Structure 1
């Protein structure tokens, strides 16, 4: 994890409100989610930023140093972002559409659809681990649209400027080492995964890890995450037999990795398309969402395990 501008805004909001609860409301986050994020920021910076008191929170001496610099930096960054957005809108020539996406199989279809609608437009995109900053970027005009997602009970906070259009809700599967005994089964019980060593992405403000752990606890089990990794490193740990991990059902099996459904489908994830309510893609939003759904169906067709699961459950 690296320090980001949004982390500086979190620190300043907590200092200005003097309360995690009020800061969470101002940032459109939950209080537990903000507390988790603050702990991660403090771990990244190397010390506690706030002292908890009965009346609220106050900056530590270390926190005052960080706040002084954050308050000096943020206005300059805001001016830069506003100037860049204004320049992009005023720039002559082809239109420019900026897209964002979490790790989901929808961005390709979205780009294809935009290319058909605006053949001369310039298209750029960037990935992000958490959907929360992507929604914020759409709200402030830094992105025209974004592929985002959330989990049941941990839905993304509503933003009046942003349309969050559901595309599909899917079950969450498990990725196992191919030699793992559970890989021989057609599906895996949650109870059989309780004592496994888990590899999971770093906790983020979308609260996905919190949802996973809460689901395990509700079933009377614990999810023991011993490796906080993502991307290729996560896959290597699974492939080498050191961990199991949760994954999207459209994840295509790789050599050494087996993907299996979880019995009863206790975990779900919802894919959404976000666009600004008054932005340049507002009129095309529903059509773009349909193309995103088509891209999802294409990804589904590539997954042998998911195709079989869908056939059984639709029957």
Structure 2
């Protein structure tokens, strides 16, 4: 079997997801189909590329080398495609939206350089809003974050790619007794007050916190105060009003520290969503390449 770009994308998806099932979901394949494809790729190369374990899959030494070259090959192909899109795309204006995360800013810098379409960018208040606007095509593509296992089912017609998983961090005031620890045990936060953002139909922050704290042996005390602005949240935390959870790629702010939790019990899933009839659906490989660049440069990966 001769390796094609689609095979290389499968290897990259598996390496980034750390799981055949998550990679299959990201590429909209069944897990048996993903397993069959991986076996064919490994057979064509004559060696195993991933080691299987109860926690998922990790590249072998040979696999790491193949993935390195695959990433370069796919990135080169996407750049070539981007140049073709720039010359062939029509003048239809497009809008790209996003909720929290590093992707929207990265696209705002790099996407206009490879599209001839006039492109604008809009900030969405929540993951649910970004997904809804992608579904009704008021935005051509949406970048968003959900908590792993606590997101929403994509609406009909929307294609969702999982860009990667990132550990969720706890935000503490600098004077907190645990602020100097490299990692914080969630069980050590019994009795703390938690500040959460407003209800988001695309991401159940409350349910995720309750489940994680329950696994740690306690029920969290959640404030009735819901704040959506990260700056205001961090200002309240710096004054001792409580704690909150953020993505590890969030910008650090004065008066607070961000610490990973022991065992990373909560993970954020960075997503790119497009409607199948979006004017950017043909540019999906290019968009994926750009947001994966942002993820690799800004986001920590689970251990």
TM-score, normalising length: structure 1 = 0.62
The answer to whether the 8 A contact 2:238-2:256 is kept is yes
Question: Given the alignment, which residue of 97, 101, 105 partners 1:104?
Answer: 101
Residues in 1 aligned to 2:147 and 2:112: alpha-carbon distance in whole angstroms: 30
Q: Which runs of 5+ in 2 are unaligned?
A: 1-89
CA contact (8 A) 1:108 1:295 kept: no
Match of 1:205 among 201, 225, 229: 201
Alpha-carbon deviation of 1:157? 0.8
1:193 shift after superposition? 1.4
CA displacement at 1:115 relative to structure 2: 0.9
Structure 1 unaligned regions, length at least 5: 1-92, 301-305
Give secondary structure in 2 for the equivalent of 1:293: helix
Query: What is the aligned partner in structure 1 of residue 247 from structure 2?
Result: 248
Native 8 Å contact 2:135 2:158 kept in 1: yes
Q: Which one has the largest radius of gyration?
A: 1
Change (3 A) 1:144 1:182: same
| Secondary structure of the structure 2 residue equivalent to 1:184 | coil
Residue in structure 2 matching 1:186, options 165, 182, 185: 182
Q: 1:105 to 1:196 in 2, by over 3 A?
A: same
User: For residue 228 of structure 2, what is the aligned residue in structure 1?
Assistant: 230
Contact 1:113 / 1:288 at 8 angstroms: preserved in 2?
no
Q: Residue in 2 aligned with 1:153?
A: 149
In the comparison of the two structures, how many residue pairs are matched?
211
Q: Which residue is 2:276 aligned to?
A: 277
TM superposition score normalised by structure 2: 0.65
Match of 2:298 in 1: 299
Please report the RMSD computed on the Cα atoms of aligned residues, expressed in angstroms. Answer: 1.9
Q: 1:149-195 CA deviation, whole Å, 9 max, x = no partner?
A: 22232232133311101111111011110111100111100111121
1: CA distance between counterparts of 2:283 and 2:237?
A: 40
Question: Which residue number in structure 2 is paired with residue 257 of structure 1?
Answer: 256
3-state SS of paired residue (1:125): strand
| Partner of residue 196 from structure 1, selected from 192, 216, 224 | 192
Aligned to 2:40: none
1:89 counterpart residue number: none
Supply the distance in 1 between the matched residues of 2:265 and 2:102 (Cα, whole angstroms).
Answer: 22
